Every structure is written in C-alpha cells, then in structure tokens.
Homo-oligomer: A and B are copies of this chain.
Amino acid sequence: MSRDRAGVGSAAEPTDQLAMRRANLSRTLRYIRANGPRSRAAIAAATGLHKTTVSSLVDELSTRRLVRETDLEYSGSAGRPGRGVSLSPDVGAIGIEINVDYLAVHGTDLTGRTVIQKRVGYDATRGDVERCLADLTDVARRSLAELTRRGVTPIGLTVGIPGLVDAARGVVVLAPNLGWHDVPVAARLARTFGPKLWIGVDNDANLAALAEHAGGVAAGTDDLVYLTGEVGVGGGVILGGRLLRGADGFSGEIGHLLVDPGGDRCGCGRVGCWETKVGLAELLRRAGPGAADGPDRDSMPDPHHRIRQVARRIAAGDQAAVTALAEIGRWLGHGGAVLVNLFNPRVIVLGGYFAEFADRLIPAAQAGLAGLTVASTARRCHFVASHFGFTAAARGGAGVVLDRMIEDPTGFPLAESRPLAAV
C-alpha cells in the first residue's frame, strides 16, 4: 500500500537480480494486458528479453495462476494455430464503496471481465462506526465468497470511502458525511481476512477517477478530474496519466472550498462549502420527495430511488426541481472553473447523481467554464457524464488491486485455489 512516487525525471531502475526479475514479470503481464494473448516468441521479440527468460517468466506467472496457455486466433507460420499466453480469468479482485446512503460492490477477474456488480441502499449514518465496519466486513466476506463461487480466486480488496484517506496506512482520517475520524479500516479488515488478501483503502473519487481513466468515458485522456455526485462531492485528479495524491493523500478536496461565506452549514462543520451548493442533499432538499410523493417504502435510503423521484418531478414540469438543477449547474461551472484554472484537465467527469441529470447540468456548467477561466485553450475542457453510475469507485477499487499486482506480482501471495473457503 505504499505510494507510487518518483523524483523529477527519475525512472524506476532495477538494482539487483530480484528487482530485475520482478520488473520482467511485470513487463510480461503489462505487455499481454496491452496487446492481448501473445506467443512466447512474440513476447520475447517485443520486450527484448531472451526466449528462455520469457519461458521462465511465463512458467512463474502460470504457477501464480496469473496467466494461462491459450489458442491464438491467428495461425502460426506453419499454418497451425499458435499457442499463446493470456491473462488468467482464475484470479480477480473486489472493490467496495461505502457511502452515506449506499454500498456498491464490483468484482472482476484479471482479464477485466465484470463478475459481480451491485449497489444496495444503506444508511451509514444510522449506528456507529463499529456497526458500519461490521456491515462492511460482512459485505466483503459475502462478495469474496461469491467471486470464489464463480471460479475466480480473489487476491485483494479495496474499499472506497467518501473522505480523507491515508492510503499508505489504510486509515480513514476524516469522512465528514459518515462521521468517521481516524478509522483504521485496512487493519480491521485484515483482522478478519488475514494476510492472504491484499487490502487497500482509498478515497472514493480517486478510485472512480482511476476507473474512468482505465475504461470509462475518460479512457484515452491522461488529464482528467472525476467529481463524485453524492451527498458529499469530492474530486479525483489524474494528470499526465498519474493520480495526484499530495503530501498526505488529500488532493482534490474541492467539496470544501468556501464559495459562499453566508451559505448553509456543511457536513464538515463550516459554512458555505461548495458541496452545500451542488451535493445530492441540496438537490433533495429543494426538489426531493415530500408528502406529495407518499411514504418512502424503502427502509434503506437508495440514491437511485430518490433521484428517480426528482426525475419524475422534472418530467412533470415541477418548477422547484427545474430551478434547483439550473442553480446546481451554475455552481458546477463555478467549481469547474477552479479545477480548470488549477489543474488544466481535458475532461471533468460527472459521477453519481450528476450523471443522471447531465442533460440539464452540463450546458450551464460548461458556460461557467467559458466565463471564469483565463485561457481560451483551457476551455477545451469538457464536462462529460460517467457511464458507471454509483459503481465507479467500487470498479476502480477492484482495478487498483489488479494494477498493483501487475506492477509487482511477487508482492502478492500465491493465489491458491480456495484460500477463502474457511472464511
């Protein structure tokens, strides 16, 4: 869980045999991931490694169950189908996001196939931190078991949290809307799942940004900001293809910028934070379900359910809802301009509930960018709606485990067939 750092201009350099082996294992995996199944000869040609080295690397990766032999689609030079090496669907990872009003789970195998995807309403503000951790552990246990049942051995788990996370230590330093303060989430999960499972904790917006960069609407864009659209609003920032963390891992906390000194009180305790202008709570306060909608039949809140109610009001021409969205769009433009002036991204991805109302929010937000940014070229930045809904962070969480493993396969315990049978 150490942070990925490199000095200005420095490059990772293997310094001994073991490090060289590790780098070559990673190189082989990355090459296959980028290019699909390839023969050992092709891997050797592309990486510049000797054929016998490649064979030994593939043997080790195979023992670790990270690659398998496969038939290549194209024919070999002798006219018969060649044998190739592909990433294995036998191992995978889980990402879980715990937010104010839902839990989301994403499970994937090493090839990137989605194996589990679900979201359930959950009231994280009911009960204390201990109860949340117990529920989180329970969801993790069931998700890991389900992945195993589907033939995919989990090698790791990342939890996404809407707050300030010390990812290096796996500690939630502060999650204002959950009411969490200095919660050692990784250590607590490790107590249950033991050393066989790699466990990470990260900020929800960071994980969502990674998911969008890897395979979402911002794929192919190396400079992007992801905005969560939940009760809280956070930013995950990727510049030059790298996730920004800052000195403590708290980069991107745009939700708590002071934008209105005379404004409403925020979950963080201060007044006038940007998230009080654009967060889901503000939309629901102004345009949410009221007496007219009848009693809420869900015992658990679910953002999707509430959002559908707002959408129905808008379809019915409810002026309060229309006005609320217009105002939120304007404030999105205000915050977007800050992001453009400071980060200069090419894309701002709108996640969570923002994506549901993108048609109404984006035109107002985009107009804000044009008026409030210094560089006309910086206005080439566009707001884009996420396709991942409320599961982007969970998806990113699973991806982070696999990325980490591909960076250093030797840093993970060997994926045994059923390591979690006893859990």
Please give the residue numbers on chain A whose beta carbons come within 8 Å of chain B beta carbons, in ascending order.
Answer: 3-13, 15-16, 23, 27, 30, 48, 164, 173-174, 176, 210, 213, 222-223, 235, 237-258, 268, 270, 273, 334, 337-339, 341-346, 371-378, 380-381, 403, 406-407
Set of chain B residues within 8 Å of A248, measured between Cβ atoms: 344, 375, 377-378, 380
Looking at chain A's contact residues, is the secondary structure mostly helix, strand, loop, or mixed?
loop
Distance of A406 Cα from B10 Cα, bound (Å): 10
**A258-B337, A344-B248 known; A16-B48 Cβ under 8 A:** yes
Set of chain B residues within 8 Å of A258, measured between Cβ atoms: 334, 337, 372
Are A344 and B241 closer than 8 Å at their CB atoms? no
Are B375 and A342 closer than 8 Å at their CB atoms? no
Q: Show 9 A/B contacts (Cβ-Cβ < 8 Å), sorted by A.
A: A6-B240, A7-B222, A7-B241, A239-B246, A242-B242, A249-B344, A250-B344, A252-B342, A273-B374
A57 CB → nearest B CB, Å? 15
Given contacts A5-B240, A9-B406, A339-B342, 8 further A-B contacts (CB under 8 A): A16-B48, A164-B375, A164-B378, A248-B344, A250-B344, A250-B377, A258-B337, A342-B342
Q: Which of A173, A244, A254, A345 has the most CB of B within 10 A?
A: A244
Distance of A249 Cα from B346 Cα, bound (Å): 11
Set of chain B residues within 8 Å of A6, measured between Cβ atoms: 240-242
Distance of A10 Cα from B241 Cα, bound (Å): 10
Are B222 and A5 closer than 8 Å at their CB atoms? yes
Are A377 and B252 closer than 8 Å at their CB atoms? no
Are A256 and B346 closer than 8 Å at their CB atoms? no
Are A244 and B244 closer than 8 Å at their CB atoms? yes
Are A374 and B8 closer than 8 Å at their CB atoms? no
Are A8 and B253 closer than 8 Å at their CB atoms? no
A238 CB → nearest B CB, Å? 7
